[in-house]
Amino acid sequence: MPSPASPTPATLVRAARDGDHEAWRALVERYDGLIAAVCRAHRLTDADAADVKQTTWMRSLEHLDRLHQPELIGAWLATVARRECLRELRHHARMHPREDAFLDRQPDPAAVPDAGLLAAERSAAVHGAVVSLPQRDRRLLGLLFTKSAPSYVDIARTLQIPVGSIGPTRGRALARLRSQRQLADLAAAA
């Protein structure tokens, strides 16, 4: 954690862009542990983790001028490191036959620094999409995806619909959810 007198991440980024070697050294010192944590989360070997760290810093130096929000350097570095870890894992998957040891090296989603945030965003997006469905669809999906998942007979009785219509109705409700997701993606891209 930086002390109150230490420069902000944005200040360090701007100085490093201007060629200040001490600012670059301070960035490396401040964020090298974050990159190492991302490598550990992906269960890389020590040698692969060292390669990923070096490549992450190299890519960061090459593209530092593209960082539009310098105060987010930590998140940016974590994303670069995560992509490099995945690239390294894909490389090894192509080079070696899959075996039990390969499965042990898969990333642990709980250990990735922003996994909780992504899960919360995904949950909020799903909840928002489900809330916008017609009440009949909401009720059906709510019954189908509860932990105690009642039988189709119980669901048909609760919703007063034929058992044979549950599957097709579920399919249409999920299709509506997918179309809402696609519309949201288009709106976000615009």
Amino acid type, 175 = A
Instruction: Look at residue 86 in the predicted model and tell me its pLDDT.
Output: 92
Q: Is 97 helix (H, G, I), strand (E, B) or coil?
A: coil
| Domains of the chain with bracketed CATH | 9-104 (1.10.1740.10), 115-189 (1.10.10.10)
163-171's contacts with Cβ under 8 Å and 24+ in sequence apart are 166/140, 169/136, 169/137, 169/140, 170/140, 170/141, 170/144
Instruction: Look at residue 79 in the predicted model and tell me its pLDDT.
Output: 92
Mean pLDDT by 10 residues, the chain (190 residues): 73 92 93 93 90 93 88 92 91 62 61 67 76 86 81 89 90 84 63
- Report the predicted TM-score, pTM, of the whole model to 2 decimal places: 0.48
Sign of torsion, CA 56 61 63 68? Answer: positive
- H or E segment at 178? helix 166-189
Instruction: Look at residue 85 in the predicted model and tell me its pLDDT.
Output: 93
Angle (CA) 99-104-107 rounded to 5° is 125
Instruction: Look at residue 104 in the predicted model and tell me its pLDDT.
Output: 61
Instruction: Look at residue 95 in the predicted model and tell me its pLDDT.
Output: 59
Residues 6+ apart with CB under 8 A from 119: none
Cα-to-chain-centroid distance, residue 148: 29
Q: Which residue has the tokens 């409700």?
A: 173
Amino acid type, 145 = F
Instruction: Look at residue 23 in the predicted model and tell me its pLDDT.
Output: 92
